[in-house]
Amino acid sequence: MRRFLLANMLAGAAFFLQGAGQASLPQLEPAPPTAKHTVTDTIDGVTLQDDYQWLEQLNDPKVKAWAEKQNQRAQKFLDALPERTQLAAQIKKLITSVPPGLQEVEIVGNKIFGLKLDPSKQQPFVVVLDNPEKPESEKTICDPNTIDPSGATALDWFVPSPDGKTLAVSISKNGTEDGDLCFFDVDTGKQLPDIIKHVQFPTGGGSAAWTRDGKAVFYTRYPREGERPAADLHFYQQVYFHRLGTPESEDVYSVGKEFPKIAEVQLQSNADSDYVVATVENGDGGDYETFAYGPDKNWHQLAKFEDGVKKGVLGFGPVFYAISLAEAPRGKLVKFALDASEPKPELVVPAGEGVISDVAVTDNQIVMATLEGGPSGLYAYNLDGSNQKTIPIPPISTVAFLAAGKDLVLTKIGSYTEIANWFKYDAADNQLAPARLNAEAPVSFTDLEVTRDFAVSKDGTKIPLNIVHKRGIALDGSHPTILYGYGGYGLSEVPRARLVFRAWYDRGGIYVDTNLRGGGEYGEEWHKAGYLTKKQNVFDDFAACAQYLIEHKYTSTPKLGMLGGSNGGLLMGAMITQHPGLMKAVVSEVGIYDSVRSELWPNGAFNTTEFGTIKDPDQFKALLAYSPYHHVIDGRKYPAILLTAGLNDGRVAPYNSFKFAARLQAAAAPGNPILLRVNSFGHGGIGSSLDQQVADLTDVFSFFAYQLGAEEGAQNAAAKGD
């Protein structure tokens, strides 16, 4: 499971890079001793030895004590890094300088509901505005900072009712993403008595959709204790029906018994349609089926997994628009007439060069965003697909969000050098006008430039990389460089600016964003070229990008750092074990390292449609061939490494980091630190408070700056071309 509203927001904060001098060398204590209890497993005739499988028992007091010792050792080293105190202050200043603003919105009638980030608060909260031209009308509806001043309570997602009178919100604690559905009166902000437990979890996610009258909701429900074995309580997501004002015990099953065990369900409805649509993903591999519930009070299947119909949007009336990959790997737009006796997909917009990434529909037009290798395009059409118009947006920019009401389209657009801002689309002149939802960015990036070029991977494929740096830098290999990658799930790396990067660029630092196979930048063919048995392509792509930077003298091995998390953490693990001499430092956050046992974790089962399963001989062979944990070599010199893990991570089992750290610490030749930092929050800091973000960023990026030598004064030398 990899989506949800807080994920992108936190990722946007979690890349602060700040230099530090190297006046003194922090003292690294010996790694805590890790006992070896050898276990052997035989899979498809291959016998595997595992000395650290005991670290998978996360509730074992011995494992907890070991993790705490690792964390204390890492923190002691990180606390001693030069200029750490100043760095922490700079991080907090930059994060809190982000102007308060809406991260995403839902348009209901004339009202704008938005998730607002205010850096003076620990957590984002939900507000409502009368319209985008009246920011003074903003009113807070649900604020987790008031519910829990400690900052440990977070919002997973929200859904306003079609009449705009009630707000449904999934609320979870301590980064668990184990959410309960709560309801708030929009006018008063008071919470209603209804609470529905366990509607959201990191495995299959969660969602809700209102009935047209705003008096009831369809919602995703996981099994309750006693309904299934304990091992299945985070699987078998189904849809139930709840009428406001009634106890949860009276809720009734609606649909889902036929869904896969690893179903991920997204529900949607609107004020002008009598239909509810359920989009069901089969795990994380990108295959979807679609169902619609209508006036006859029954669910009808619109598309099966094999039909290639992906996500879509419910129109204003009995019509559902969806992206279809059938004979169109970059997507085409189709529609289903929901009131037909047997709805069939009808072509609206044929496939083009760009990958269809998002669609919004008003009562008389379609607005469609595309990906063109990473950067976006934006287009408008009549409802029948005619009269295509290209909406002007800046080059190498991204449509970060797209939303529509009956007669309003809002989009959020940014780039590597422009903080994303909200715009209102004017169909009459086909232009975007700034909405009154933006605040002036306190930091300028006008002295930066973006170089977009292509590295050549091992098999000859051209891989885009986006190099962000100060204008006029000397290409002499001297610049501290952070190379970032992900490459999975069909997700795309898109241009976006982060205020906290300002300090890194000012110190002569370079940041590089890559568009690896496994992502969706060039459509489903690009995705499938980097998943299942072809996952090694992703690692080869990233290594080629690193080699490109060195060959073109943007940086050099002693100045090169690599950064990734989750699926990108797997990428980091592959770089560490396959190319240990290519970089100086690696920060790998909540990574997947034991690819052979990953599917035993609940969310790991959802990932089998992306990574593969050991139950398939060919997929097992591929998994074992790159599994980082199984390819650590005794006596080899590895780069400086900081691994991070969250004890409440429901997406990636924290024992991946535990086992990988133990194996590396036992095997590595002396010289570079191998650290494991463990916190109590969830996946990649999801749900963490502002204070926790500052602490984590201080740890991670002071480590980078120290290892790569981003020293004071580097910015002056860079400016002079010295």
How distant, in Å, are the alpha carbons of 116, 156, 663 from that of 129?
11, 21, 53
Q: Decide which of 499 and 71 is more confident.
A: 71
Is 194 a residue whose pLDDT tops 70?
yes
Which residues lie closer than 8 Å to 420 by C-beta, 6 or more apart? 398, 400, 401, 412, 413, 414, 496, 497
Region 536-563: what's the mean pLDDT? 98
What does the alpha-carbon distance between residue 716 and residue 713 come to, in Å, rounded to a whole number? 5
Region 327-338: what's the mean pLDDT? 97
What does the alpha-carbon distance between residue 266 and residue 259 come to, in Å, rounded to a whole number? 13
**Residue matched to tokens 């002396």:** 670
| 486-536 per-position pLDDT tens digit | 999 999 999 999 887 887 787 789 999 999 999 999 999 999 999 999 999
Is 305 a residue whose pLDDT tops 60?
yes
For the chain, give the mean pLDDT. Answer: 91
Q: Decide which of 121 and 321 is more confident.
A: 321
What does the alpha-carbon distance between residue 529 and residue 593 come to, in Å, rounded to a whole number? 21
Give the pTM.
Answer: 0.87
| 80-120 per-position pLDDT tens digit | 998 788 778 877 888 888 788 999 999 998 899 999 999 88
Which residues lie closer than 8 Å to 720 by C-beta, 6 or more apart? none
pLDDT confidence of residue 49: 96
Residue 295: half-sphere exposure toward Cβ, Cα within 13 Å: 8
- By percentage, how much of the chain surpasses pLDDT 70? 94
Is 713 a residue whose pLDDT tops 70?
no
pLDDT confidence of residue 444: 87
CB 692 within 8 A of CB 682: no
How distant, in Å, are the alpha carbons of 20, 378, 638 from that of 707?
9, 41, 13
DSSP secondary structure of 192-216 = EEEEEEEEEBTTTB--EEE-TTSSE
| 596-622 per-position pLDDT tens digit | 999 998 888 999 999 999 999 999 999
The amino acid at residue 156 is: D
CA neighbor of 534 nearest in space, from 461, 590, 481, 432: 461
Region 565-571: what's the mean pLDDT? 96
Region 682-694: what's the mean pLDDT? 68
What does the alpha-carbon distance between residue 95 and residue 89 come to, in Å, rounded to a whole number? 10
Which pLDDT band, with edges at 50, 70 and 90, does 714 fall under? very low
DSSP state of 327: T
pLDDT confidence of residue 4: 33
Region 528-548: what's the mean pLDDT? 98
pLDDT confidence of residue 637: 98
CA neighbor of 627 nearest in space, from 619, 616, 615, 635: 619
Region 683-710: what's the mean pLDDT? 79
**How buried is 471 (Cβ within 10 angstroms: 0-12 exposed, 13-18 middle, 19+ buried)?**
exposed
Is 717 a residue whose pLDDT tops 50?
no
Is 2 a residue whose pLDDT tops 50?
no
DSSP β-ladder status, 332-337 and 319-324: antiparallel
pLDDT confidence of residue 686: 60
- Tell me which of 458-462, 672-676, 700-704 is least confident: 700-704
Region 119-141: what's the mean pLDDT? 93
| 10-54 per-position pLDDT tens digit | 333 333 333 333 345 788 999 999 999 999 999 999 999 999 999
pLDDT confidence of residue 544: 98
Residue 185: half-sphere exposure toward Cβ, Cα within 13 Å: 8
